Chains A and B, each alone.
Chain A
Amino acid sequence: MNALESVAAALLGWPEPRFDGVSVVVPTFCLYPTNAVVNVYVDGAAREFVVHDRGGAIEQFHATLGMEPVPKSLIFGTARRRGVSVAKDGALFVSRVSADELAGAMTLVANASTDVAHHLIDYYRPPPRQVLSAEVEALLDTSFPSQWRKEEVVSGQSTKKHRFDYVVRLDGRQLLIDLVKPDSSSINAAVVSHLDVEQAEPNRFMHRVIYDDREKWPSESLALLRVVAVPIARSAAPQALARLAA
């Protein structure tokens, strides 16, 4: 068997198009980020067809991060670059496809579907389902019952008064905790207030910032926070606060 025959034999093992009762299902050679094969679906009669992904790109996002609503605006840009349309339910499609254009349209939809799935999985994070502050307060109640105060003011070296989200009174020291969001104003405010307060009374305070690691955080933002405080990921906060209480 020569190479050409081997390749041809290998391709025979790939799933073939089939009719599922509604559409012709075409397994393509494109892969989603999950390594699932991209299927495209062809509806229509003999002369004009619609080629779509039956919402496959969004399904891949749901399969990876749970079934959360996805803003369609996140899909439009990527879809438009590939020249495909977005249906109301988020499915990508090309309509009015002639028989001659069918192969090209299937390739186009498959690649667009892969691009959209990559974009969603890489960049979109659903809004946190719980309010971070409520979670942190529950943790503080457990680790430091009746030792913590919310939104307490502490003066810095500059004499400016800084409001911290939580202040925990420990033996001789105070634990200052801020909740931070991945935007520059939140980060800068935390950096300035922790720095100013530390310079006023070095070693009197312990500095912590808690961030929600379900959101996308650039490493440089965390590095900046690390200059003045110990950043704690939301998912690690239970252990971190328990260790501080121990």
Chain B
Amino acid sequence: MRRCAASSASGWNIEALVRSNPSVAAQPDIRVTVDRLLAAEKTLAGTASFQPLQGEQRQQRWRKACVIQGEVTPLDIEVQAYPDSPNLKFRIILIYQRAIWRLDYSEDGTHFNSTNRPNDLGAGPICGPHYHTWEDNRRFSTKSALPHTLRNARNVPSNLRTFENAFRWFCGETRILVLTAEIPCLPTRVSLL
């Protein structure tokens, strides 16, 4: 599958949705595009496996493109694995040019929310696994630029204690339909220490 052909976006259904709004068509608003990409039901394209980064087995990634009604979109889902970490540690990221939705699973991770945050969100510190939604961070986006970083986060539900559960949950939250066979297996430890 040629990605460049897939991103011939006049064919994207989601782009057609964006263009159907006259005000948006006149001057595309990247926030609206992301809203619509997230709202659309998506599946995953092709096959993938974990690949070490620059031969570095301690950091591995798995990446697939999202498909909307048969058209490959520029939206990717990426899993980052750290098989040698002393505790379960991974990230699941939805990437549209840069991260727009992310789950950080790490016992060590501590996050502190921005002062510019939704009313129902505390400052933190948020200790342990947490997630950054587009909704909580859309406020940092402009019409032409995505948020520089995702500065607001929430604790993950307490029942997410395995990668498989977390992946299913993430896909559910971001409207990605995923089959059990499509859920990747995290790479196993590569060193003894």
Contacts and interface: CB of A to CB of B under 8 A. Distances in A.
Interface of A: 13-15, 20-23, 25, 27, 31, 33-37, 39, 55, 62-69, 89, 121, 129-131, 134-135, 137-139, 141-143, 213-214, 235-239, 241-243, 245
Contact of B148 (A33, A139, A235): A33
B149 interface: yes
B51 to A, nearest CB: 9
B8 A139 contact: yes
Q: Say what secondary structure dominates the interface of chain A.
A: mixed
Interface size class of B (residues with CB under 8 A): 35 or more
Nearest to A245: B10
Interface of B: 2-5, 7-12, 15, 18-19, 25, 28, 30, 53-54, 56, 58-59, 61, 63, 74, 76, 78, 80, 86-87, 91, 93, 95, 97-99, 102, 104, 107-114, 125, 127, 148-153, 193
A239 B18 contact: yes
Given A13-B125, A14-B125, A138 B110 contact: no
Contacts, number: 135
Contact of B112 (A37, A39, A139, A143): A37
Q: Say what secondary structure dominates the interface of chain B.
A: mixed
A242 B112 contact: no
20 contacts: A13-B125, A20-B87, A20-B107, A34-B149, A34-B151, A35-B113, A35-B114, A36-B110, A37-B110, A55-B59, A63-B80, A66-B98, A89-B58, A134-B2, A134-B4, A138-B5, A138-B8, A139-B8, A238-B9, A239-B9
B97 A243 contact: no
Given A89-B56, A139-B8, A238-B8, 13 more contacts: A13-B125, A21-B87, A25-B108, A35-B152, A39-B110, A63-B93, A63-B104, A66-B93, A66-B95, A67-B53, A67-B80, A138-B8, A239-B25
Given A69-B54, A138-B7, A239 B15 contact: yes
Contact of B10 (A22, A27, A214, A238): A238
Given A35-B149, A121-B148, A142-B11, A67 B59 contact: yes
Contact of B8 (A23, A68, A89, A141): A141
Contacts of B80: 62-63, 67
Contacts of B11: 142
